């Protein structure tokens, strides 16, 4: 189960996401489904178009089954398979 | 304490593998390259965190090219000489598994 507690370690591909704030104003408002993930980027599908959003400079709003979670992109910077065991403080 | 953390990690890794395979199945018709990517991510997770992939999932990855196999579409399954032979139609690799 993906919960707000473990979303930082869990799978982001397949979730619905919106870019809430960013240092690059052109990225704000991108909304759609995450289709791929690399160390520094999330690939978001928006109306059939793939948008590459850097994780580092954005704040994301993820939609889970029953709630919304706002996550700072800085916390997500890691390779997808390394993100499970990364520690945060 | 440390042991509990490791258990939590393995649990999350297992869930992520399940999610990735489900997504690979859903995406295969429209975006096959995406489903190949998801499967390779699942394999990376299972190797990094030493989580065993269940047998029915392991057999859906080609051992030669690492692509996602959908039986009847890009893989052929035949029973020969007391073995299950799965042929990857993308790269031609044949994987043979004995009956249990």
Would you call A36 and B34 a contact, using CB atoms and an 8 Å cutoff?
yes
Within a domain: A25: yes
Range of the domain at A13: 7-83
**ipTM score:** 0.90
- Asked if the structure places residue A88 within a domain, the reply is no
Look at chain A and report how many structural domains it folds into: 1
Question: Cβ contacts (< 8 Å) between A42 and chain B: which residues?
Answer: none
| B100: nearest Cα among B55, B60, B70 | B55
Closest CA to B69 of B99, B32, B44, B96: B32
Say what the pLDDT of residue A89 is.
64
User: What stretches of chain B show up as alpha helix (H) in DSSP?
Assistant: 2-27, 32-48, 55-58
- Asked whether the beta carbons of residue B45 and residue A82 sit closer than 8 angstroms, the reply is no
- Nearest CA to B23 out of B12, B34, B9, B8 is that of B34
pLDDT tens column, B6-60: 888 999 999 999 999 999 999 999 999 999 999 999 999 999 999 999 999 999 9
Domain boundaries B2-98, CATH class: mainly alpha
Asked whether residue A22 is domain-assigned, the answer is yes
- Of A85, A81, A37, the residue nearest A60 (C-alpha): A37
* Cβ–Cβ under 8 Å, residues B68 and B76: no
d(CA A28, CA A40): 17
Q: Is B17 helix (H, G, I), strand (E, B) or coil?
A: helix
B72 CB-near residues (< 8 Å, 6+ apart): none
- Contacting B residues, span 19-58, partner chain A, CB-CB under 8 Å: 19-20, 23, 31, 34, 37-38, 41, 44-45, 48-49
Break chain B into its structural domains and give their ranges: 2-98
Task: Report yes or no on A89 lying in a domain.
Answer: no
Give residue-wise pLDDT tens across range A52-79.
999 999 999 999 988 999 999 999 999 9
Among the partner-chain residues A1, A9, A35, the one whose CB lies closest to the CB of B34 is A35
CATH number at residue A23: 2.30.30.210
Model pLDDT for residues A10-59, shown as the tens digit of each residue: 999 999 999 999 999 999 999 999 999 999 999 999 988 999 999 999 99
Distance, in angstroms, between B55 CA and closest chain A CA? 21
């Amino acid at each position: 189960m993906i919960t707000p507690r473990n979303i930082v370690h869990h799978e982001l591909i397949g979730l619905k996401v919106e870019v809430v704030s960013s240092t690059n104003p052109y990225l704000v408002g991108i909304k759609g489904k995450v289709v791929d993930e690399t160390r520094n980027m999330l690939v978001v599908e928006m109306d059939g178009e793939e948008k590459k959003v850097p994780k580092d400079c954005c704040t994301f709003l993820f939609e889970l089954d029953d709630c919304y979670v706002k996550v700072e992109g800085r916390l997500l910077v890691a390779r997808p398979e390394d993100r499970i065991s990364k520690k945060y403080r | 304490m440390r042991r509990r953390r490791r258990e939590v990690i393995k649990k999350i890794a297992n869930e992520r593998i399940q999610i990735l395979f489900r997504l690979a199945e859903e995406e295969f018709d429209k975006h096959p390259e995406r489903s190949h990517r998801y499967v390779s991510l699942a394999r990376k997770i299972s190797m990094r965190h030493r989580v065993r992939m269940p047998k029915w999932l392991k057999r859906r990855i080609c051992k030669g090219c690492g692509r996602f196999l959908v039986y009847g579409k890009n893989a052929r399954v035949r029973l020969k000489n007391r073995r299950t032979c799965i042929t990857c139609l993308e790269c031609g690799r044949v994987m043979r598994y004995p009956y249990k």
